[in-house]
Chains A and B, each alone.
Chain A
């Protein structure tokens, strides 16, 4: 299957400074491939180059070097633009328009007739939970509602490729849950979703593959399964004790009280936890849960980003 989106040594330098301009590399030879139909997470700390990459893909800025393709075509091809949906970071829209008017206006840019535009706008406003505010001017919208309008305008053309820059930004927990469901819905209908996020749990829950960017460089990319398929480093055991407290012994590394008579126990991989479980049960402890300790995406993220920062510091 061909790539939905691909970059080849994509590079962007900006000039910074007022009097004495000096170059600043925002993105350094990024080579990346997003496959059709997948949800791809683009992760990185602030200033890593995520937004710059997305702006390059949308031709809001032009590359200093390298190139990119969307759906096998060079950027800027109008036929391809018809098949893309883009949500910018912290979107702003014409505040004198209502949500419905904005979608009608953007629909006109796609060349849809008035009835089609109205139908699409109605469906999306309904889907994003802002149908009740369709006739409210956007200047009266909260940040979260504007984010929903931003998502609606990105989906106006039933796109094949969606590029979301921080889609969860400004949303409350319910809003985030809705957007997560929406992204999974898009994936189910075959749409490719390429999104940036700071919220690693969202990426972990949604993505089949991720890329981690730090200081403009790609530091890791691949399937979440491969990236996180490390050996378990121990066990996390949660028990409840009616009286007394467990004590650190040869089979227990650490004990953390978590309230209500419950304790989180960190156990080494060896010896196996079965014997300890028997001892705890005999002492009146009730087993709540037992899970292997594996590195999370957050661990991987922190490790990659800090090692990149350390390397940059040495240079």
Chain B
């Protein structure tokens, strides 16, 4: 456990030293710039757009971190040969895989926490001085706690994407891993279309293939509750828990596969 934690902390340190958290500056500039420009719109509309923009930016920024760091977690160790001095230490190979994953999860969590704080700060500023009577007419309050549900699901989705990137990085090149991870991210957001493939196609073979893919590929569309939250529609806690459970199961499966592949690999 101690060794896994040490590996995780080292991944976090690498992210910080490689200036990964500089994306926060970009996020802050985007949010402040948007709030300034959107200030010209009707009060209430700008809050909605900022919420939508903020959540989307968190998702995109997080996705880039999850994929681009995730694909290098293991492959970089192998390419740069640092694995040669790491694996002979008294650790199991699975600890290296899990430690790497935990380290990037920590990076994403810290990144997301800071972005969320900045997000709420901008929302607070946008709603500042607006008559409470006007505010009550909005779909949802500016500082709506339900936003945290959307943020939480984005983070959980990113943890799943990290596991996808890490899995590919245990046996593939970084470029191929990135292509596969982005590909799965995009397909994962359209998996509902795969389920309903029979409504647009007649071929039984194509329908069976689409159904098969629907069950195998990650269903990432269910993590996206931005529209509901922004428009003040309820997102039940049960739904969040079930989605988190699905992500945990899928992530555990990917990490198990990553461990199996990595444990058998020769480092020539």
Contacts and interface: CB of A to CB of B under 8 A. Distances in A.
Interface in B76-118: 80-92
B3 A108 contact: yes
A92 B14 contact: no
B88 A60 contact: yes
Nearest to B93: A59
Nearest to A104: B6
Contacts of B17: 96
Interface string A107-143: 0111100000000000000000000000000000000
A230 interface: no
A14 B84 CA distance: 18
A86 B91 CA distance: 14
Nearest to A89: B84
A16 to B, nearest CB: 10
A86 B88 contact: yes
B236 to A, nearest CB: 43
Interface residues of B, number: 26
B180 to A, nearest CB: 21
Given A55-B267, A105-B6, A109-B6, A96 B13 contact: yes
Nearest to A93: B82
Nearest to B18: A96
Indicate the size class of the contact surface on chain A: 20 to 34
A200 B90 CA distance: 32
A109 B3 contact: yes
Contacts of A111: 2-3, 90
Interface string B194-226: 000000000000000000000000000000000
Interface string A59-89: 1111000000000000000110110101110
A241 interface: no
Given A81-B90, A108-B3, A60 B84 contact: yes
A59 B92 contact: no
B5 to A, nearest CB: 8
Given A94-B10, A111-B3, A82 B267 contact: no
B266 interface: yes
Contacts of B10: 94, 97, 105
Contact of B84 (A62, A78, A88, A105): A88
Nearest to A88: B84
A36 interface: no
B82 A61 contact: no
A125 B268 CA distance: 29
B266 A91 contact: no
Contact of A96 (B2, B14, B266): B14
Interface string B4-40: 0011001001100110000000000000000000000
A79 B92 CA distance: 12
Contact of A14 (B89, B92, B264, B268): B268
A150 interface: yes
Contacts of B6: 105, 108-109
A46 B92 CA distance: 31
Contacts of B80: 92
A81 B89 contact: yes
A81 B266 contact: no
A71 B6 CA distance: 27
Contacts of B18: 96
Interface string B218-261: 00000000000000000000000000000000000000000000
Contacts of B87: 58-60
Interface in A136-159: 150, 153-154
B106 to A, nearest CB: 16
A82 B90 contact: yes
A96 B267 CA distance: 23
A60 B268 CA distance: 8
A244 B86 CA distance: 65
B90 A91 contact: no
B9 to A, nearest CB: 8
B84 A106 contact: no
A279 to B, nearest CB: 61
Nearest to B2: A111
A14 B267 CA distance: 11
B88 A58 contact: yes
A108 B10 CA distance: 11
B122 to A, nearest CB: 32
A21 to B, nearest CB: 14
Interface of A: 14, 55, 58-62, 78-79, 81-82, 84, 86-88, 90-94, 96-97, 105-106, 108-111, 150, 153-154
Given A58-B87, A81-B90, A93-B85, 15 more contacts: A60-B87, A78-B90, A87-B85, A88-B81, A90-B81, A91-B84, A91-B85, A92-B82, A94-B10, A109-B86, A110-B89, A110-B90, A111-B3, A150-B85, A153-B85
> Which are the 8 A-B pairs with shortest beta-carbon distances?
A108-B6, A88-B84, A96-B17, A61-B266, A81-B90, A86-B88, A109-B89, A58-B88
18 contacts: A59-B87, A60-B84, A61-B267, A78-B90, A78-B92, A81-B88, A81-B89, A81-B90, A81-B91, A84-B88, A86-B85, A93-B85, A97-B10, A106-B89, A108-B3, A108-B6, A109-B86, A153-B85
